[in-house]
Copies of this chain bind each other. A is one copy, B any other.
């Protein structure tokens, strides 16, 4: 028989999400999480740099997908459209079918300032990565940064709406709406 039960990281994430959801992030200790996942504290910190990171297991993959999609896109597209198209593709691939889980996770994050800060950090890193991908194509760093930031702003507005109870439109449609609104508001 195997020495350990498989999927330690996933078990830790699941246990953590359940506990954070029930009793809040601050009122949950790492000791409780590892007890539920039948592991030890040391193992928790082998998998995750800190207590917050357990909720962001997929963000690096998300960033890779988006950057790849930008690089694979049509070079003739204006920078903002290039990013938006990539976000559409990834929204369909990684979000659309998991609205309930994603909304649940987002509620946990939104309920705690520390987790919110971590998410902002991930978003900022993603924005930088997008800007770098754009710059590899179009050149000008400031344009790349502004296009990346604008796209992420629209994405954020769309995501907020998408996780509202009762909302049924797809994230892709909401993103396109948000881009239209942004063009009106800025232009």
Question: B residues within 8 A CB of A117?
Answer: 117-118, 120-121
Question: B residues within 8 A CB of A79?
Answer: 185
**A181 contacts the other chain (CB 8 A):** yes
User: Using an 8 Å CB-CB cutoff, how does the interface string of A101-124 with B read, 1 for contact, 0 for none?
Assistant: 000000000000100111011001
Contact status B124-A186, CB under 8 Å: no
Contact status B120-A182, CB under 8 Å: no
A175 CB, nearest partner CB in chain B, Å: 13
Copies held by the complex? 2
Contact status A149-B143, CB under 8 Å: no
Contact status A146-B116, CB under 8 Å: no
Contact status B181-A183, CB under 8 Å: no
Contact status B80-A186, CB under 8 Å: yes
**A168 contacts the other chain (CB 8 A):** no
Given known pairs A143-B181, A157-B145, A181-B142, the reply for A186 and B118 (CB within 8 Å) is no
**A29 contacts the other chain (CB 8 A):** no
Please report the C-alpha to C-alpha distance between residue A156 and residue B131 in the assembled complex, in whole angstroms. Answer: 14
Contact status A153-B146, CB under 8 Å: yes
User: Using an 8 Å CB-CB cutoff, how does the interface string of A151-166 with B read, 1 for contact, 0 for none?
Assistant: 0011011001100000
Beyond A116-B121, A145-B157: 16 further Cβ-contacts under 8 Å? A80-B186, A113-B121, A116-B124, A117-B117, A117-B121, A142-B157, A142-B181, A145-B160, A146-B185, A147-B186, A149-B153, A149-B157, A150-B150, A153-B153, A186-B187, A187-B187
Name A residues whose Cβ lies closer than 8 Å to a Cβ of B. Answer: 79-80, 113, 116-118, 120-121, 124, 142-143, 145-147, 149-150, 153-154, 156-157, 160-161, 178, 181-183, 185-187
